[in-house]
Amino acid sequence: MSQRFQGSRELGIFGYLVAGVLWFHRTKAPGSFRGMGPKFKRQGADSLIREDLNMRSMAWLSEKGGTGKTTSAINVAAALARKKFRVLLVDCDPQANTSFVLLGGHIAEPPTLAHVLIGQGEARDAIRKTRYDRLDLLPADVTLADANLALAVELGRERRLKVALESVDRDYDYVVLDTSPQRSLLNVNVMNYVQDVYVPVDPGIFSLSGLGQLQAAVAEVARFLDNPNLKIGGLVLTRMQRNNVCKDVENQLRELFGDLVFPTMIPHSIKIEEAHGRFVSVLDYAPKSPGAQAYVQLVEEILNHGREANGPGAAADRTVAETVHAA
């Protein structure tokens, strides 16, 4: 099979996935995509901030594994702390990779998030200092998976995280949550708490396969639980490289979602992986690397609600080649 024909087939498969996602939203979750209603649309500054406090909360969430949720949560939180914001990073993934990195390669000792959720500890007692000024961690461990199951029969099971964090979040400017890719009661708790969901999208031909289900879950939480202002704040292209698949994914996403896709793309970079292995953010390990610079720019866009200095969507036509460099 020729490379040209094979590439055409890949794009065709991607096209079918896009069509399927759009059909799902038009029939199952109307009024939630950009251009179809407010639920999936990035809002203005006032709507992003709770009226009762100057704190913003965000979750890195995707129902597809390997998209860069943990990497993004760690580096966005570290970049916010560098800008003098007080940040709480909450590890809501039973794999506890965020905790492992920020605790210097050590497993978190009790109490952890699991103990908080099942009523055996307080969030304030479980929060740890990290090596970074102004960045605290509410860690996870493997028992979080058991807590997720135990919550199924508990009263207020969808509100446990919200109740726990609202006792401490006034101490912070930003609360950032890392999540697991599994559909779970724990992720429902996450969505019932945060204001914004940021979705990392890796450049595979099946990159949209879980987006429809995720958006439906967001819409259901906003409708049926006590977080009506929940929304998907943006899509972030991650692990980008200079190849046709990445270009195809980028072009399709920008055509479909416009400025809901952040201008900055996170490149595939060995420096990011090396930083994880040394238990630091890439901003500390290789601050001049393309990966570090991309996260610095992404945080600026998040702070400005995805709008660059010279206007919304001004950098939407940036190509992969202009963003991705060798690490």
- CATH number of this structure's domain 3-306+318-323, picked from the four choices 3.40.50.1220, 3.30.540.10, 3.40.47.10, 3.40.50.300: 3.40.50.300
Provide the pLDDT for residue 66.
Answer: 87
| Cα–Cα distance, 279 to 130 (Å, whole number) | 11
| Cα–Cα distance, 17 to 21 (Å, whole number) | 6
Burial class (CB in 10 A: 0-12, 13-18, 19+), 12: exposed
Per-residue pLDDT of the chain (327 residues; tens, 9 = 90+): 444 334 434 444 444 444 444 434 443 443 344 333 333 334 443 333 334 447 999 999 998 888 999 999 999 999 999 999 999 999 999 999 999 999 999 999 999 999 999 999 999 999 999 999 999 999 999 999 999 999 999 999 999 999 999 999 999 999 999 999 988 999 999 999 999 999 999 987 676 777 878 888 999 999 999 899 899 999 999 999 989 989 988 998 899 889 899 999 999 999 999 999 999 999 999 999 999 999 999 999 999 973 443 333 333 333 322 333 333
Q: Is the CB of residue 228 less than 8 Å from the CB of residue 282?
A: no
Burial 22-36 (b: 16+ CB within 10 A, else e): eeebeeebeebbbee
Greatest alpha-carbon pair distance for the chain in Å reads 61
| Cα–Cα distance, 56 to 72 (Å, whole number) | 16
Measured CA distances, 226 to 42, 162, 194, 220 (Å) = 20, 10, 11, 11
Provide the pLDDT for residue 63.
Answer: 86
Q: Is the CB of residue 121 less than 8 Å from the CB of residue 111?
A: yes
Provide the pLDDT for residue 307.
Answer: 42
Provide the pLDDT for residue 108.
Answer: 97
Provide the pLDDT for residue 64.
Answer: 85
| Cα–Cα distance, 241 to 244 (Å, whole number) | 9
Provide the pLDDT for residue 204.
Answer: 77
Provide the pLDDT for residue 214.
Answer: 87
Token code pair at residue 92: 């809501």
Domains of the chain: which residue ranges? 3-306+318-323
- SS3 of 88, please? strand
| Cα–Cα distance, 295 to 282 (Å, whole number) | 9
